[in-house]
């Protein structure tokens, strides 16, 4: 199925430009928060204790945050879902837990709420929650 058809279910239109710009400015802090959560989440011990897996996790989180910013800014949900599908397959081939991408999205949502002090993180958070739910369905082998 063309990815852009699937993407119709997710919209970025509620997110204000200044909020995604602030998310981008705070990307290093959000990245650090996501990595920190990997170290402190039950079920993620196998990743936290594996140097190579943590290297992959760092890189994946960095690129996901960059791609989230670019695709929200330019209203390209299809491109983000395409990347998430690739990331899920890639991480699965590296023996990451099925729930890993959903966990990253949850951490990004928490990070957005924590670091977008004077900006609205609710709409960003709602989209990240929607993406997390989609990831959970996909991880369970369901449809998008």
Partner 1 sequence: MTREEQQNVFYECLREGNRRRCLNLVKEWEQQQLPDEQLYNDIIIPALVHIGEAWENNELGIVEEHVATQTIRTILGYKAATLTPRRTLHRSALVGCVPEEHHDVATMIMANILEKDGWQVMHFGGSVPRHDLFESIRRIKPDLLCLTMKSIGCLESTIELLSDVRATLPDTKILIGGISMPSVRTILAEYVDVIADDFQQGAEQAARLVNA
Which residues of this protein are in contact with partner 1, per CB under 8 A?
Answer: 3-4, 63, 66-67, 69-71, 73-76, 78-80, 82-83, 86, 89-90, 93-94
In terms of CB distance, is 41 or 54 closer to partner 1?
A: 54
Q: How far is the CB of 75 from partner 1 (least distance, A)?
A: 8
Q: How far is the CB of 78 from partner 1 (least distance, A)?
A: 6
CA distance 108 to 35: 10
CA distance 11 to 75: 8
Strands annotated E in the chain: none
In terms of CB distance, is 76 or 99 closer to partner 1?
A: 76
Number of Cβ within a 10 Å radius of residue 77: 22
Q: What is the DSSP string of 22-62?
A: HHHHTHHHHHHHHHHHHHHSTT-HHHHT-HHHHHHHHHHHH
In terms of CB distance, is 28 or 39 closer to partner 1?
A: 28
Q: How far is the CB of 93 from partner 1 (least distance, A)?
A: 4
* Residues 6 or more apart whose Cβ sits within 8 Å of residue 121: 19, 23, 112, 113
**DSSP state at residue 14:** T
Q: How far is the CB of 80 from partner 1 (least distance, A)?
A: 8
In terms of CB distance, is 26 or 71 closer to partner 1?
A: 71
């Amino acid at each position: 199925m063309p990815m852009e058809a699937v993407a119709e279910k997710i919209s970025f239109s509620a997110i204000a430009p200044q909020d995604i710009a602030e998310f981008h400015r705070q990307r290093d802090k959000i990245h650090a928060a996501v990595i920190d959560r990997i170290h402190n989440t039950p079920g993620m011990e196998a990743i936290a204790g594996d140097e190579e897996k943590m290297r992959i996790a760092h890189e994946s989180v960095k690129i996901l945050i960059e791609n989230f910013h670019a695709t929200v800014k330019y209203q390209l949900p299809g491109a983000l879902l395409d990347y998430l599908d690739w990331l899920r397959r890639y991480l699965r081939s590296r023996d990451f837990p099925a729930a890993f991408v959903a966990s990253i999205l949850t951490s990004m949502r928490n990070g957005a709420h924590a670091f977008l002090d004077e900006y609205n993180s609710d709409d960003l958070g709602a989209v990240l929650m929607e993406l997390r739910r989609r990831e959970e369905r996909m991880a369970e082998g369901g449809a998008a």
